[in-house]
Copies of this chain bind each other. A is one copy, B any other.
Amino acid sequence: MLEIFKVASEEEVRVEADGLRRTVTEVFRKMGVPPEDCGLGADVLLSADLRGVETHGVSNMLRSYVNGYTSGSINPRPNWRILRETPSTANIDSDGGLGIIVTPKAMEIAIEKAAASGMGVVTIRNSGHLGMASYHAMMALEHDMIGVCMTACPPLVVPTYGAEPRLGTNPIALAAPADEEPPFVFDAAMCTVAANKVKLAQRVGAKLMPGWVTNPDGSPAMEAIDPPETDSMRDSDMSLLPLGSTRELGSHKGYGLTAIVEILGGIMSGGGIVGMANRGVFGHFVAAYSIEAFMDTAEFKSTMDEWLRLLASTKPAPGHDRVVYPGLPEFEEQNDRLSRGIPLHREVVDWFRSICEELSIPFELVRGTPS
């Protein structure tokens, strides 16, 4: 079972989703996570890897979660509980549990409330990282609902004209069902580029693009530069720029959007100013909208089909052959990776080999199908 097939480059190998899923599930089990939650945690990570969102898949996140469990900063058996509740809202204390496991449970509550009252919104305080935000938003799709997920993160992003990071990367995700077309699934950090993309650039030796980060003096770096040499952006003298990069290009909008996530997911979770000094935990927000509460669901879904087709048939600008909508490339990527395997950097495979050895887990990464 140790054979790994190299497909893309010297540095990349493809592995089958099933073996990776089993391995990740076992890692969670060894961290002390209850058996019924291990598969859920693995599913959130694998979903990111299958959809091509490497930044939030096993490569970047699992070792960070393992570090959190082993250092005690993440609680493997959280006694999470609802602190407040109304017909359409709830507030949860996650008891230091990992967000990838507590957030789906919160989303289930939001979906139940939406089914009963039209809308459901749940905020979560005192929680760890929630992985790919769109995972939780997409849970609404099978219920013919629109799902939303946001998460207020530790400070890495400067306000417009500011030289110090005051805001998290703070992703917003929204999933909306269509009838025949792949669903609309948006998921993006409200800075120009997600912090994990900087890590990825470090790992693969790529430059950071103009408009992504600040210079050490806090001004927007509008030329390509090397990523920081520190392990974490937080320890570097660079910060991320809000979406829009400069005031002239609209960075005050990206700044405002990160701030909205901080208010809804951070402050309104009751966890204090998430992301400020020594409050390095996350605050989450999930919501479900029952489409039937607003209009006929079948009509909504067929209108979505019509609209998504219109977007995807937009005449491309010179130099481009295709216009996509959010969720379409990820849907296609998932189909491809289910058949050909998930590409992992060799260094990630090496990490799996060593953590499996360390935890006495079978190393089950088997080759995918070559292209």
Task: Tell me how many chains of this kind the complex includes.
Answer: 2
A259 — which chain B residues lie within 8 A by C-beta? Answer: 184, 186, 311, 325-326
A244 — which chain B residues lie within 8 A by C-beta? Answer: 192, 243-244, 249-250
Given the known interface contacts A89-B119, A121-B289, A259-B326, the answer about A267 and B210 at a Cβ–Cβ threshold of 8 Å is no
A267 — which chain B residues lie within 8 A by C-beta? Answer: 176, 300, 303-304, 307
Binds B, one of A30-38, A64-72, A213-221: A213-221
Range of interface residues on A (Cβ < 8 Å)? 35 or more
A121 — which chain B residues lie within 8 A by C-beta? Answer: 118-119, 289
Residues of A within 8 A of B (CB): 83-84, 86-89, 91, 117-121, 123, 146, 158-164, 166, 172, 174, 176, 184, 186, 188-190, 192-193, 209-211, 214, 217-220, 243-245, 248-250, 252-257, 259-260, 262-264, 267-270, 272-273, 276, 289-291, 293-296, 299-300, 303-304, 306-307, 310-311, 314-320, 322-326
CB-nearest residue of chain B to A174: B260
Cβ-defined partner of A89 (8 Å) among B118, B260, B315: B118
Known: A174-B263, A211-B248, A219-B318. 7 other contacts (CB 8 A): A161-B317, A176-B267, A186-B260, A192-B250, A255-B326, A269-B294, A276-B307
A270 — which chain B residues lie within 8 A by C-beta? Answer: 294-296, 299-300
Q: What's the minimum C-beta distance from A128 to chain B, rounded to whole angstroms?
A: 20
B304 with A162: CB separation less than 8 A: no
A174 — which chain B residues lie within 8 A by C-beta? Answer: 260, 263
- Among A217, A254, A317, chain B packs the most CB atoms within 10 A around the CB of A317
Q: What's the minimum C-beta distance from A346 to chain B, rounded to whole angstroms?
A: 27
A306 — which chain B residues lie within 8 A by C-beta? Answer: 273
Give bound CA distance, A117 to B209, whole Å: 46
CB-nearest residue of chain B to A176: B263
Q: List 10 A-B contacts (CB under 8 A).
A: A87-B117, A159-B314, A174-B260, A186-B259, A192-B250, A214-B317, A217-B317, A218-B315, A244-B250, A272-B303
- Among A158, A248, A250, chain B packs the most CB atoms within 10 A around the CB of A250
B326 with A89: CB separation less than 8 A: no
A219 — which chain B residues lie within 8 A by C-beta? Answer: 317-319
